[in-house]
Amino acid sequence: MKWGFTLPGQPPSWNTAYRIITMHGRRGGYQALGKTPDAKRYQIGAANIIRSAKPSRWKPIGQLRIHYWLYLARDMDCDNVLKLINDVIQTATGVDDKWFLPTVEEKTTGWGKKARVEVVIEDHESPYAGRPASSTTPTPSSSSSAVSPPTPSSVSGLPRSEIQASSNR
């Protein structure tokens, strides 16, 4: 199954989303990474969008291909975008992000107030998933031919810019 959603605005970069904070416990204080208030607000809003976009009949059973189209107000490293969004996808769907196979399909900047991240999630049934590494090495004769990556427009036939959180199709 394939489904998608659009997260409006410029996501916080991982570099600005986390800060070292001092925690106080029974054994005294210690330092840990904590999310900034901006990162928390972004993730709460994103989680609501993702939960409302997630089809009720969607039951993932393995790895998930997650395709990202980044339309950013200002440039940032792709990895810094993915960490925060992968965390919120995990929270909103209940799927451990160790099963995610993220791919950035496109990144452009200069979008200003129209900045957004478009995401398509699809189930990926790998013949090698869950097997020990020694048994997962494909041979040239057994490897499958290249497949074109999906585009958000293939989700319910809408143009990428029109995929909304309400696309519970």
pLDDT in tens, 14-27: 777 767 877 777 77
Question: How many domains does the chain divide into?
Answer: 1
The answer to whether position 101 is within a domain reads yes
Q: Which of 99, 103, 102 has the alpha carbon at shortest distance from 63?
A: 99
User: Is residue 65 pLDDT above 50, yes or no?
Assistant: yes
Residue-level pLDDT at 22 = 77
3-18 mean pLDDT: 86
| Cβ-count burial 146-166 (b if 16+ within 10 Å, e if not) | eeeebbbbebeeeebeebebe
Residue-level pLDDT at 61 = 85
* Rg from Cα positions in the chain: 18
The answer to whether position 137 is within a domain reads no
The answer to whether position 158 is within a domain reads yes
Residue-level pLDDT at 63 = 93
Alpha helices in 14-163 (DSSP H): 14-17, 37-53, 78-93
Which CATH number do you get for residue 10?
3.30.1330.70
Q: Is 134 exposed, middle or buried (0-12, 13-18, 19+ CB in 10 A)?
A: exposed
147-160 mean pLDDT: 47
Can you give the residue range of the structural domain that contains 68?
A: 2-24+31-55+62-124+150-162
* Token pair listed for 160: 């990428």
Q: Looking at 33-37, 73-77, 91-95, 142-146, which range is the least confident one? A: 142-146
Residue 30's pLDDT band (cuts 50, 70, 90): confident
The answer to whether position 131 is within a domain reads no
The answer to whether position 41 is within a domain reads yes
pTM of the full structure: 0.70
